[in-house]
Amino acid sequence: MNSNFKIKKIVIIGPESTGKSTLGAMLSEHYRTIWCPEYARTYLTEKGTNYEYEDLLHIAKGQVALEEEYLHRLSNQSSSDLLFIDTDMYVMKVWSVFVFQQCHQYILDQIAIRKYDAYLLCKPDIQWEQDGLREYPDPLIRQSLYHYYKDLLMHQHLPWIEIEGAYEERLRKAIAFVDSFCY
């Protein structure tokens, strides 16, 4: 890999069922790159949805490891300089505090040390869909979680944008944003 080659990491966050995975897949197709899925989905599918506080630490570590794996894969391909990431430690922090009113120090440490280039914040303005893993269909809870994410992003220094509307509109807005600071 060329030493001048820097992978730009763009994180997609927001409440559950806001199209994060769909957007990640569409963006990776558009930019001919790969995207890192959310590790929690694999973990909860295997272990079940009756999770405890300690499970969130395992999920956080799994997410970090998965992200590192995808970064390694992309750097070996050298075909793209963009990696879209479905979820980061901000999501783990929100999830931890919302469900258990506490957060593992590991998650907070990872927020401080992991470096990203931008965020796409998905609004809860699309239909909530149950997939066996999701927990919060209530529109007020979804909106409250959305504002928690927005507040986190407003108090950090990286560029970010709100992604809203139908899937095609979300994709157009995300592409325009990524193009504006990457190319």
Q: What are the tens digits of pLDDT across the range 104-160?
A: 999 999 999 999 999 999 999 987 776 666 666 678 988 999 999 999 999 999 999
Tokens found for residue 76: 């070996």
Q: What are the tens digits of pLDDT across the range 80-112?
A: 899 999 999 999 999 999 999 999 999 999 999
Contact indicator for 81, 24 with CB cutoff of 8 Å: no
Contact indicator for 92, 111 with CB cutoff of 8 Å: no
Q: What are the tens digits of pLDDT across the range 34-44?
A: 999 999 989 98
| Residue 62: predicted pLDDT | 97
Which residues sit opposite 120 in a β-bridge? Answer: 12, 161
Tokens found for residue 151: 């507040």
> Where along the chain do its domains lie?
8-182
- In terms of Cα–Cα distance, which of 73, 63, 64, 65 is closest to 28? 73
Taken as a whole, the chain contains a residue count of 183
HSE of 133, CA atoms in CB hemisphere, 13 A = 14
Would you say residue 16 has pLDDT above 60? yes
Q: Is the pTM higher than 0.85?
A: yes
- In terms of Cα–Cα distance, which of 46, 23, 43 is closest to 35? 23
- Fold designation for 8-182: Rossmann fold (3.40.50)
CA-CA distance, 171 to 83, in Å (whole number)?
16
Q: What are the tens digits of pLDDT across the range 53-86?
A: 999 999 999 999 999 999 999 988 767 899 999 9
Give the pLDDT band (50/70/90) at residue 3.
Answer: very low
Give the pLDDT band (50/70/90) at residue 168.
Answer: very high
Which residues sit opposite 12 in a β-bridge? Answer: 86, 120
Q: Which residues of 28-61 are buried (b: 16+ CB within 10 A; e: fewer)?
A: beebebbbbbbbbbebbeeeeeebeeeebbebbb
CA-CA distance, 44 to 48, in Å (whole number)?
5
Separation of CA 46 from chain center: 20
